[in-house]
């Protein structure tokens, strides 16, 4: 968590941004001096963005780059057919988990039968089956795509996932309020297109400046916080995240259904407390753990 703290030195008050964390039984601190007067809220938001990236660089970047190097060595050493199989296996697991997080009843075995063998499991909702096929299809488009992250891509992929099950919202930006089940956070009710414009502009300006995994993390969080569609925002933010990771040659991230509660909590707390570091910490702790074999 990032906090503003103040210290009195020789009768004068000085302000800092402060972040502390546990590491090997110790509690290191990272601080950024703000001066003896607090900046405006707008200025503070930009300063926090820079500070969060500084925290990422100090805490996680070296491990992230080692993970990338060793992952690429392993992947590129595989024969092409094994690479294709590895990517497809990831896609099956990713499709299962991302849909399961959103309420799908399908097991991993069910999803494998559907997308690998075109076998329909008995006594399963038709929409769950259709959305598994549609998501896997978009995943395969994703890994073979060189498209820019823009309005056209977001609307197209959302439409392809939901055109058969939710045609009334597929590929359409909402113009009505929505609520997130079991969450106290209420997404923005108006100005959705402007917020998404700002996010895409931010992405374009930073895609060659920020570490790609950090960029994927923030795109994930900021996109789902806007909640631009009537439904399917979680699936879209996770496929967008993996598109950024894959195209920059980092391992993709399959957020497992079994950790959904801590995932929900990280998203909600970061939004309610207006502290993106709460999600950044969750993301990188889980991402490094998922790729620990490359360290």
Highest mean pLDDT among 5-14, 29-38, 273-282: 273-282
CB atoms within 10 A of CB 132: 26
Distant-in-sequence, close-in-space partners of 163: CB < 8 Å, separation ≥ 6: 134, 170, 171
Sheet of 12-20, strand order: 2-9, 12-20, 29-35
Distance CA 215, CA 265 (A): 21
Distance CA 57, CA 211 (A): 9
- pLDDT in the model for residue 101: 97
The string of pLDDT tens digits covering residues 226-263 is 999 999 999 999 999 999 999 999 999 999 999 999 99
- pLDDT in the model for residue 269: 96
- pLDDT in the model for residue 63: 97
Q: pLDDT above 90 covers what percent of the chain?
A: 88
Band (pLDDT 50/70/90 cuts) for residue 10 is confident
The string of pLDDT tens digits covering residues 58-100 is 999 999 999 999 999 999 999 999 999 999 999 999 999 999 9
The string of pLDDT tens digits covering residues 36-61 is 888 998 999 999 999 999 999 999 99
Highest mean pLDDT among 8-12, 21-25, 178-182, 199-203: 199-203
Residue with tokens 């890994």: 143
Q: Exposed, middle or buried, 23 (CB in 10 Å: 0-12/13-18/19+)?
A: exposed
Q: Domains in the chain, please, with CATH?
A: 60-294 (1.10.3290.10)
- pLDDT in the model for residue 258: 96
- pLDDT in the model for residue 36: 87
Band (pLDDT 50/70/90 cuts) for residue 25 is confident
Average pLDDT of the chain?
A: 95
Distance CA 126, CA 131 (A): 9
Report whether pLDDT(7) > 90: no
């Amino acid at each position: 968590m990032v906090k503003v703290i103040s210290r009195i030195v020789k009768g004068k008050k000085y302000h800092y941004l402060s972040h502390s964390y546990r590491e090997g039984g110790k509690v290191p601190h990272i601080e950024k001096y703000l001066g003896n007067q607090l900046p405006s809220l707008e200025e503070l938001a930009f300063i926090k963005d820079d500070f969060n990236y500084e925290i990422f660089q100090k805490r996680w970047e070296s491990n992230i780059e080692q993970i990338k190097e060793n992952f690429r060595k392993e992947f590129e050493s595989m024969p092409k057919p094994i690479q294709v199989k590895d990517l497809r296996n990831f896609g099956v697991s990713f499709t299962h988990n991302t849909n399961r997080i959103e309420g799908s009843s399908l097991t991993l075995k069910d999803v494998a039968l559907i997308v690998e063998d075109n076998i329909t499991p008995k006594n399963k909702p038709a929409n769950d089956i259709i959305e598994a096929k549609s998501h896997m299809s978009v995943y395969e488009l994703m890994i073979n795509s060189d498209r820019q992250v823009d309005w056209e891509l977001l609307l197209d992929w959302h439409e392809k996932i939901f055109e058969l099950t939710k045609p009334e919202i597929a590929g359409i930006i909402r113009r009505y309020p929505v609520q997130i089940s079991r969450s106290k956070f209420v997404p923005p009710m108006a100005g959705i297109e402007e917020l998404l414009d700002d996010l895409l502009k931010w992405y374009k300006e930073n895609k060659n400046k920020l570490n790609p995994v950090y960029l994927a993390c923030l795109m994930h969080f900021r996109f789902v916080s806007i909640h631009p569609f009537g439904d399917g925002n979680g699936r879209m933010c996770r496929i967008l995240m993996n598109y950024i990771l894959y195209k920059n040659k980092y391992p993709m991230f399959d957020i497992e259904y079994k950790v959904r509660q801590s995932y929900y909590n990280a998203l909600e707390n970061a939004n309610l407390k207006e502290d993106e570091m709460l999600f950044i910490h969750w993301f990188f702790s889980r991402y490094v753990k998922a790729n620990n074999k490359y360290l």
